[in-house]
Chains A and B, each alone.
Chain A
Amino acid sequence: MQNLDYFFIIQAWPLFLKGLWVTLYLTFWANVAGLIGGALLALCTTGPYRLLSAPAKLYIEFFRCTPALVQIVWFFFCVPILFDVFWSPIFMGVVILGMNLSAFNAEAFRAAIQTIPRAHVDAAVALGLTPFERTAYVIMPQALRYAIPVLITNGIGLFQQTSLVALVGVDELMYNGRLISTSTYRPIETYTFLVLFYLAVSIPIGRLAAFIEARSDRALKA
């Protein structure tokens, strides 16, 4: 085994940080898209209109049952040809990761919406709230609370999935890490550092999710 040398990491630092920035950027905006998309999809599937619920269910099943890498590769290769659009790779990454996350978040929201007792809906109807008011002021605020731990877990999962877009050439953390490893011939140090970078983000957020879950479990029991 060769001698390890962590000194070069200092020289590669800017490239690491730039990659980390792109990874966090992708994670943040894909999460924003995934939360909005997921909530809309969940409303479509739980709503009374079959014209909305059937396609939404198909969308969710499709994105949940196919590998993320297949979705990403499909999106990066086929969308520019099919629709004749050329977006920046980072934007494409945000869109496809957001679409993927939407499907998983939709399931989280749907499960949460279904835990809300039927009596609440009936009470809202009896009070003469419009369907919009019922959804926005009665159902969703409660559902959100049940869904939060799962939504955070999905968000961390997405953070890890951002590494996949490195394979289609988006220069995020994983991509830059591979670049550094091949240009310095020091895979052990580089990949070990990459692992640390990912853990430094995902473990604290995972702890936060566990903490919030424990707290909301207590609150809901009380």
Chain B
Amino acid sequence: MDNLDFSVVWKFRDALAWGLMMSLLLSGICSLAGTVLGFFIALCQQSRFRAVRWAAALYVEVLRGAPTLITLFWVFFCLPIILGVEINAFWSSIIALTLYMGAITSESFRSSLKSIGQDQYDACNALGLAPATRTFYVIAPQALIRAIPNILSNVISLFKESTLVSAVGMVELMYTAQSISNITARPIEILTAVALIYFVIGYGFSWVVSSVELRIRARVQS
């Protein structure tokens, strides 16, 4: 084992910071877009029309049953051919991660929608609310608040899955780390530093999630 030299990490701090920023940006955009998508998928799963329900269920099964890496490759290699447009690594990453986030988040919404009692629906019907009013003013706000802890932990999963996009050449933290370790031939220092960066962010965020969860649970029960 040769002697370790961690100064190489400091030398490449700008590149690593840029990579980290791209990772966070990707996770941020896809979390927001995926949450909206997941909410609509969850609504579709409760639809009156069987075709809509089945389509939504199929979407969730496929996206959750197949590895995210394949979704990513499918979007990167196949979607441009099918649509006949060029999709670069950035947009492929955004699309694939949003689809993934949508699938796992729809499950969170589905369980939170299920936790809302039938009496709420009955009360809406008794008040003569239109189905859209019922969904958006009565059911959705309650479902949203109950789903928040789950969605936040999905965001952590998404942040971890975002390392995959380095496989299609999207420049984020993992890609930057691998390039630097190839150039400098110092994989141990760089990869350890990057693992620690991921750990600090992932651990910090999961700490935030558990404290938010406690507060929401206290509020929902009262």
Contacts and interface: CB of A to CB of B under 8 A. Distances in A.
Contacts of B202: 64-67
Interface string B44-77: 0000000000000000011001111110011001
B192 interface: yes
B160 interface: yes
Contact of B163 (A69, A81, A178, A199): A69
Interface in B69-126: 69-70, 73-74, 77-78, 81-82, 84
A93 to B, nearest CB: 14
A202 interface: yes
By secondary structure, the B interface counts as helix
Interface residues of A, number: 40
A28 interface: no
Contacts of B81: 1-2, 187-188
Interface residues of B, number: 40
Contact of A77 (B1, B77, B160, B191): B191
Contact of B181 (A2, A67, A77, A161): A77
B174 interface: yes
Interface in A51-73: 61-62, 64-71, 73
A83 B191 CA distance: 16
Interface stretch (B12-20, B28-36, B193-201): B193-201
Contacts of A174: 67, 69-70
B70 A82 contact: no
Interface string B110-154: 000000000000000000000000000000000000000000000
Contacts of A66: 160, 195, 198-199, 202
Contacts of A5: none
A163 B70 contact: yes
A39 B77 CA distance: 41
A216 to B, nearest CB: 18
B216 interface: no
A70 B195 contact: yes
A199 B199 contact: no
Interface string B166-203: 11000000100010010000011001101100110011
Contacts of B73: 178, 187, 191
B198 A70 contact: yes
A1 B174 CA distance: 34
A54 B67 CA distance: 33
A106 B167 CA distance: 30
A72 to B, nearest CB: 10
A191 B78 contact: yes
A199 B78 contact: no
Contacts of A123: none
Query: Max chain B CB contacts within 10 Å: which of A67, A81, A188?
Result: A67
Nearest to A162: B67
A191 B199 contact: no
Contacts of B61: 199, 203
Contacts of A161: 67
A78 B189 CA distance: 9
B24 interface: no
A206 B65 contact: yes
A68 B78 CA distance: 25
A46 interface: no
Contacts of A77: 181, 187-188, 191
A181 B67 contact: no
Given A66-B199, A206-B65, 10 more contacts: A65-B202, A67-B159, A70-B163, A70-B198, A77-B188, A78-B191, A82-B188, A167-B167, A194-B66, A199-B65
6 contacts: A2-B81, A82-B188, A160-B65, A191-B78, A195-B62, A195-B74
